[in-house]
Structure 1
Amino acid sequence: MKNLLNKKILFIICGGISAYKSLEIIRLFKKKGAEIRTILTASAKKFVTPLSVASLSQGKVYSDLFSVENETEMDHIALSRWADIILVAPATANSISKFAQGTTDDLASTVVLASNKNIYLAPAMNVRMWEHNSTKQNLEKLKDFGYKIIGPEIGDMACGEYGEGKMSDPEIISTEIDNYFANLKKNKRFKALVTAGPTNEYIDPVRFITNKSSGKQGYELAKSLSKKGFDTTLISGPTNLNVDENIKLIKVETADEMLVATQKNLPTNVAVFSAAVADFKVDKKYKNKIKKQDTLNLNLEKNVDILSYVSNH
């Protein structure tokens, strides 16, 4: 299996007794051909040394948010852009809380907040900490953000207790990341089409009928499909939203334009029609701006149902 070959993994190691397992995780990743850059939190350096991590990863180890050596690189931005995926192992209760709250007081938390890549967490903590409501709430929030959680497992802990909170074995974590790239590779064979936003149906050159659709749902759907490896095309009505560079964006205004753009991008393997397409348009658009008058009568005709069209073709 060569799913990890030349893949760029940003590995964040936090301060917990399970940090010693991170060295084995690095070894497994390197064995599969991955390229690794590592961030050690200040507390992580109490458990593993930068030298041991650098020796195994054969890459640079980062730690300081404010570094004279790397100040021109803006590490928190450069590292998040460089990575194909981010893994945090062990993810301590403290780091999970930081990520959930958007705290950015060190390099690790700042990189995570600045990243739009898939982020995997491998929690590790005492069973009481794992069962605490604040930890559960933080994890639910992170899941809603799209973070993936690996483990934890039930077993004996360094503190002498037994229960859930033990970090998953390196082989399990390595396999999860391997499976992510395997699915990504599989999905690259598939095309996805998403429509989003409102449409403008013009009355004259300056006036139109529209709705308040923001397009956010469609943009998030396109982003999610793209992150899963789909060759994604987004057909969007007028919005103020930005799109990831790996998504093909087609901008349209009217329902007719959206229909034509959809037709040109068929067939597709996955289609999600989340655009708020106007049901009606003016049957005859005025060529010039309509002069001010007390009343204005408009004759409307029904727009083509794009979803129905695609379903029947």
Structure 2
Amino acid sequence: MLENKTVVLGISGGIAAYKAAALCSKLVQAGAQVHVIMTESATRFIAPLTLQTLSRHDVIVDTFDEKDASVVSHIDLADRADLVVVAPATANIIAKIAHGLADDMLSTTLLATTAPVLVAPAMNVHMYAHPAVQANMQVLAERGVLFAEPGTGQLACGYVGKGRMEEPEQIVEAIRHFFRDQRLLAGKKVLITAGGTVERIDPVRYLTNDSSGKMGFAIAETARSMGAQVTLVAAKTSVPAPGGVELVRVQSAQEMLNAVIERLADSDIVIKAAAVADYRPVETAVRKIKKNDEEINVRLVKNPDILQTVGRMKTTQYVVGFAAETERIDEHAMDKLQRKNCDLLVANDVTLEGAGFGTDTNLVRFYDRQGLVEALPLMSKHGVARQLLTLIAERIQTKEGTN
């Protein structure tokens, strides 16, 4: 998994910097090309010569110490990286990444790279639990930054608690899993819907819902990172769409249905994460409806059911539906899965804190035709996306292996 992969290892100034030597060594032994960047503070804990010897590459500390005149070092490393690992990651470097600060070689490279980033926090237990640190990590998680969670135990400062940097062996294993995940959906074409559809009453008014598109966008971004060719059909959303995908913008349920059906035959996986309006106005006024009467009556007609249509038309596609519920989640989820011929259904109770529309987190359950598959804890929507797509990939591989 690591053969010929370029890993940029960033080391910030904490006592756990000594563990970075073992991490560097293990990555090199696994076949990775490791380039080390150290902060000035990190050099107080471990000598750059140690990491240079282990990585067999120059260690960069000073932003202005350009050893190769043909390139700008921090841009060159940022571009070459398949993965950037920050271990140990102090509260300070985590804050810099979260807020886009770039005042040394490591933070500058992190701001310049488009490669995935894995962070291994290491700090005092009270620092780790501080609301500012937790908020910064939440921001990074929402951006798709991966974390090697710190362990709980005796800390160098004498405290016992959470904050000890994960062991090098476990970080290497997490990196192996990351590169494995990059290939989980290689060669697969994934069609995803996101956002809330818009049903026009007149040129300035419409019916819609509270969907932000965050869940669908997280799935699209994660699917792309797993090697899939992604087509994203998006209605009204409140966040920027991910890059590296084919984006198809629509408004109404009918437009979304047309876009999905047009691309269905060429898709391997269909994930219906959009919140589609159940009804639309029978008539859409050509001009703005003036405020004249005390009451106005708008007749509604039922919209086409996109998920049900896909379930009826599918051949070899793996179809995943979403259900936002407010009660009896298990019963309603299983009913929807059966009626709409889904292979998998993701359901959540939108009345629970952290699981509703517009949030950066979700609390979901996965169902198949046998019932509940897994109930996930509250986690970021990118975390839910990774769990969902990993499950889909495993099931598709199992199915293909039996054919």
Q: 1:107 aligns with which of 105, 108, 117?
A: 105
Cα gap change, 1:194/1:66 in structure 2, threshold over 3 Å: closer, same or farther?
farther
Tell me the amino acid that sits aligned with residue 100 of structure 2: G
Partner of 1:143: 141
Alpha-carbon distance, 1:72 to partner: 7.6
Alpha-carbon distance, 1:236 to partner: 4.0
Q: Is this contact kept in 2: 1:9–1:84, CA < 8 A?
A: yes
Cα gap change, 1:262/1:221 in structure 2, threshold over 3 Å: closer, same or farther?
same
Alpha-carbon distance, 1:282 to partner: 8.7
Partner of 2:306: 306
Partner of 1:9: 7
Alpha-carbon distance, 1:215 to partner: 7.2
Mapped partners of 1:259, 1:221: distance in 2: 19
Pairing of 1:222-233 with structure 2 (within 5 A)? 222-233=220-231
Cα gap change, 1:59/1:302 in structure 2, threshold over 3 Å: closer, same or farther?
farther
Partner of 1:41: 39
Mapped partners of 2:117, 2:271: distance in 1: 26
Cα gap change, 1:32/1:270 in structure 2, threshold over 3 Å: closer, same or farther?
farther
Partner of 1:244: 243
- SS at 1:61 equivalent: coil
- SS at 1:125 equivalent: coil
Relative contact order, higher structure (CA 8 A, sep 6+): 1
Tell me the amino acid that sits aligned with residue 38 of structure 1: V
Mapped partners of 1:37, 1:193: distance in 2: 37
5+ residue gaps in structure 1? Answer: none
Alpha-carbon distance, 1:269 to partner: 2.6
Cα gap change, 1:80/1:256 in structure 2, threshold over 3 Å: closer, same or farther?
farther
5-14 vs 133-142, greater mean Cα deviation: 133-142
Aligned residues: 303
Q: Is this contact kept in 2: 1:4–1:33, CA < 8 A?
A: yes
Mapped partners of 1:230, 1:146: distance in 2: 17
Alpha-carbon distance, 1:209 to partner: 8.6
Alpha-carbon distance, 1:123 to partner: 1.5
5+ residue gaps in structure 2? Answer: 291-298, 314-403
Tell me the amino acid that sits aligned with residue 244 of structure 1: G
Alpha-carbon distance, 1:301 to partner: 7.6
Q: Quick one: percent identity of the two aligned structures?
A: 34
Q: 1:53 aligns with which of 43, 46, 51?
A: 51
Partner of 2:120: 122
Structure 1 length-normalised TM: 0.74
Cα gap change, 1:66/1:219 in structure 2, threshold over 3 Å: closer, same or farther?
farther
Partner of 2:274: 274
Alpha-carbon distance, 1:53 to partner: 2.1
Q: Is this contact kept in 1: 2:183–2:226, CA < 8 A?
A: no
Alpha-carbon distance, 1:232 to partner: 2.0
Mapped partners of 2:152, 2:163: distance in 1: 6
Alpha-carbon distance, 1:173 to partner: 0.9
- SS at 2:156 equivalent: coil
Tell me the amino acid that sits aligned with residue 271 of structure 2: A
Partner of 1:86: 84
Mapped partners of 1:277, 1:70: distance in 2: 58
Q: 2:233 aligns with which of 232, 235, 258?
A: 235
Q: Is this contact kept in 1: 2:12–2:86, CA < 8 A?
A: yes
Q: Is this contact kept in 2: 1:91–1:122, CA < 8 A?
A: yes
Q: Is this contact kept in 2: 1:200–1:209, CA < 8 A?
A: no
Alpha-carbon distance, 1:244 to partner: 1.9
Cα gap change, 1:216/1:162 in structure 2, threshold over 3 Å: closer, same or farther?
closer
Cα gap change, 1:63/1:275 in structure 2, threshold over 3 Å: closer, same or farther?
farther
Q: Is this contact kept in 2: 1:198–1:278, CA < 8 A?
A: no
Structure 2 length-normalised TM: 0.60
Q: Is this contact kept in 1: 2:12–2:41, CA < 8 A?
A: yes
Alpha-carbon distance, 1:170 to partner: 0.9
- SS at 1:186 equivalent: coil
